[in-house]
Structure 1
């Protein structure tokens, strides 16, 4: 079966506001101010909790050893805060739901492969009311490795009942691009993320400006 695998954060949904808020809660708990900005630092947010903590503590001028120690100390509190406030600011990108429904109606399997911990990913898709639109969900801790290792993508396709040779990945970062390369499948990168069309620098097989055009693009790339 032809399969479309989606990243979650920055691809299906703009989660940057809630992610940044969770990181800032860690900084405030240590007596600092809000260090990260949801608008300006969205790209950092889409690279995960550790990336946000690293960026924040480096901006505060901490020595590298202390930065690394605080990342380890604050990672679980960050996840806890995020889990308790996971959908306050998060929004699905325009047309995402309709595009996934169209793909499924055309006989495609759909799956999520994310570097968000699986439990949080499942909680988020449930709250966004899109869980039933995907045949599989693989998170950062589902397997011993995460993207860009090929294993999570392969597991997502297998769980969805698809065939890797008839699949592609829709994502928003270099992690997704490298995952697709590792597996040997086409990659579509969205241009409505924080990098805009500058994401073209990663040389994906295709760019996606709006979800309205995704079904036709997928059909063109994967064929009948």
Structure 2
């Protein structure tokens, strides 16, 4: 079976608002108030919790940020778990086209650098966990994206093989993961960093999920024999 593996944050859903709220919870505990802006810093949020803490501490001109990032990362994750789906929204057409891919015979899964338990919690709260045959998070394996093994594992768990898949994502991490795996990448241009995706030279770009089934069919034609 050919499989389509999706990144989560910034690809299937805009999770930036809830991530920034969790980071700002940490900065308030530090006595600095809300350091990150939900609109301006949406792209930072989708790079993960540590990046948000690093960015905020740099703006605060903190003299020794590394211990603070280490100490507050768990605080951020706890705050995020407590309010994981307040602002998060699926991108237009995401699940409709996941179902179209499944109806066309593709296996579908998720490979994310969000911790697996949080990813599972979010997908369950949004009512879409059962739509995906596989979920591989940042801590599912000893390595994470851009190492290709999480992508390979997601493809296998979704019923496919390592080389008969493609990765749908929104970042250089996703592009580099697919490149390391030797499989096509499809990057979305509707997320916060969408204008930067073309420079990464993926095999395809999509501006709406309605474009995805046709692009997947073209890229994975004959991949099942690989």
Task: Say whether the fold is shared (TM-score over 0.5).
Answer: yes
1:23 maps to which residue? Answer: 23
Q: CA deviation at 1:42?
A: 1.1
Q: Secondary structure at the match of 2:163?
A: helix
2:94 maps to which residue? Answer: 96
Q: CA deviation at 1:82?
A: 0.1
2:141 maps to which residue? Answer: 143
Alignment of 1:1-224 (within 5 A): 1-63=1-63, 66-223=64-221
Give the TM-score, by structure 2 length. Answer: 0.97
Distance in 1 (CA, whole Å) between partners of 2:195 and 2:28 is: 34
Q: CA deviation at 1:196?
A: 2.3
Give the TM-score, by structure 1 length. Answer: 0.97
Q: CA deviation at 1:12?
A: 0.2
Q: CA deviation at 1:30?
A: 1.3
Q: Secondary structure at the match of 1:62?
A: coil
Q: Secondary structure at the match of 1:164?
A: coil
Distance in 1 (CA, whole Å) between partners of 2:92 and 2:98 is: 12
* Superposition RMSD in Å: 0.8
Structure 1 unaligned residues grouped into runs of 5+: none
Instruction: Tell me how many residue pairs correspond in the alignment.
Output: 222
Q: Which string of whole-angstrom CA distances, capped at 9 and with x for unpartnered residues, describes residues 11-32 of structure 1?
A: 0000000000000000001111
Q: CA deviation at 1:216?
A: 1.0
Q: Which string of whole-angstrom CA distances, capped at 9 and with x for unpartnered residues, describes residues 39-94 of structure 1?
A: 1111111110000000000000112xx21010001000000000000000000000
